[in-house]
A and B are shown apart, each in its own frame.
Chain A
Amino acid sequence: MTVHGILINAEDNVITLLENAASGPVAVVGETQIKCLELGEPVESGHKVALRTIPAGETVIKYGIAIGLATQAIEAGRWVHLHNCRSNLDARSSTLDLKTGAPSDTKYT
């Protein structure tokens, strides 16, 4: 069963997965020459994968706009999320749990 990822805007450098994906090929839907992307790791439905290598400090582009900055070099086919992409404005989000988004900075004692 082919997993699909959607490229929303021709300028985007990430695609969004429409199903859960294991490492391996993903079919890319959208205005791009790249019709197939090789995932380097399992990525969950709804999450983003780099369409091409994004150097550290470069903008991550989705919907044709800058949605954040790469905090380290991201190879094509790698998961793009809190561990390697940060907002231009929101500092707290970089401290949240990568999988659940739960905060680590609030005391419960």
Chain B
Amino acid sequence: MALNSANTTWQGYLRPDGRKGVRNLVLVVYTVECASHVAHAIGRDDPGAHVVGFPGCYDNAYAIRLMLALARHPNVGAVLAVGLGCEYTQPARLAEAVREAGRPAEWFFIQDSGGTEASIQKGKAIVAQLKARIADNARCNMTPADLIVGCECGGSDFTSGLAGNPVVGRLFDKLIDAGGAAVFEEIVEMIGLKDVLTSRAASDGVCQQLAEAYDKAERYCKEVRQYSISPGNFAGGLTTIEEKSMGALSKSGARPIQGVLKVAQPVPGPGLWLLDSVPDPHFMQFGYTNPNDTEGIMDLISVGSHIILFVTGRGSVIGSPVAPLVKITGNPQTFAKLSGDMDYNAGCVLEGQRSLDEAADELLELVLGVAAGNLTRPERLGHQEYFISYKHQDAPSLEAGCRA
């Protein structure tokens, strides 16, 4: 890491559980699709209020764990839970859990609040009160050692494995060497690479975890008869999932993998972590992994990522709620075509303008600026895509350090 980056400090937000955040948001969470319109109207045009929600009426343990992880994320200062009134997921229980984590939280049912217009007004008033309550949230010093950064790639092309992902991989190495944590996922884009993956294990126990996670992912792809590769990837020069996988894996850098996490399992400590979002076996096999890039991003945020790095080749315009998303492309033509959406052109490496190391230093400086409060392009454009869906994953064991 460049010496000045390692010593960088900035002011973060200190949460009651001791975790530190880089944003101070109010999160509006809706608990069924019927409450979506009202929830979005409450949060619209308010950059300090983000909206997420779950569409189903029948509740789902995995989805609730994910919603709770977002609601208690270090970047979130307060929560408003909005329900219709007849669904299984209980907004009161979500609000209670958030309050137990020391943060202000309110909730209401639209059916009891006079319907659409009255609920929107009520919700906006509550959000305004919550914002006032968290405006003087305790601040604290933060350094790179306090950061958890997650990376997802999407809209990949031939540059993803040559520039975009390798630059992030080198940044991951530098952040980890400075004491921070990094998370990557998309095991369905490590197809054909079981040996490469297990060779990165920090211990024999982790080697076993990686092997099991890989086998599950490959089995999943065979069962659904679909591999994680799309028409644009092919048009962009990638011919097979094996080829895409080598390029995708390069986002993880060179450091040993400390362990495999499930969705909503907090990152246990510094170092590199692999997140497994593939569904576990269930009597009624259901749940997709990575049906779109946004789901993967939600998963990375759920384990505590403060900031998301998103690497694209073909070009993607998405952002994310809760954690700011830094948009990176390794394709200089894409950077030019979609310049209003792009934060960093890693294609500078392909064009010979920067070495991999220089580009990683430059990107890391940009990321630390985001941590200190600079807005990313997706943040400025108001992109806050989210995706919370039905899935089954076995709850992590207590020994792994997470409540079931």
Contact = CB atoms under 8 A, between A and B. Distances in A.
Contact of B229 (A47, A63, A93): A93
A88 B242 contact: yes
Given A18-B350, A89-B221, A67 B232 contact: no
Given A47-B158, A65-B192, A89 B239 contact: no
Contacts of A44: 237
Interface string B179-198: 00000000000011100100
Given A18-B350, A44-B237, A67-B240, A8 B192 contact: no
Interface string B221-259: 110011101111111110111110011000000000000
B157 interface: yes
A85 B235 contact: no
A93 B234 CA distance: 9
A68 interface: yes
B231 A46 contact: no
Nearest to A96: B234
A87 B192 CA distance: 10
Interface in A65-98: 65-68, 80-82, 85-93, 96-97
Contacts of B76: none
B350 A48 contact: no
A42 interface: no
A46 B242 contact: no
Given A101-B233, A102-B231, A81 B158 contact: no
Nearest to A63: B246
Given A8-B162, A88-B192, A93 B243 contact: no
A85 B350 CA distance: 26
Interface string A39-67: 00000111110000000000010110111
B161 interface: yes
Contacts of B218: 89
A90 B247 CA distance: 17
Contacts of B236: 46
Contacts of B312: none
A61 to B, nearest CB: 10
Interface residues of B, number: 32
A24 interface: no
Given A67-B239, A88-B192, A46 B157 contact: yes
B327 to A, nearest CB: 20
A16 interface: yes
B162 A67 contact: no
A44 B241 CA distance: 20
Q: Which of A16, A86, A89, A96 has the most CB of B within 10 A?
A: A89
A87 B246 contact: no
B119 interface: no
B199 to A, nearest CB: 13
Interface string B15-35: 000000000000000000000
Interface of A: 6, 8, 16, 18, 44-48, 60, 62-63, 65-68, 80-82, 85-93, 96-97, 99-103
Given A47-B158, A63-B246, A88-B192, 20 more contacts: A16-B162, A48-B239, A60-B239, A62-B246, A63-B161, A66-B192, A68-B239, A81-B234, A81-B239, A88-B240, A89-B241, A90-B240, A91-B225, A92-B226, A93-B239, A97-B231, A99-B235, A100-B231, A101-B231, A101-B234
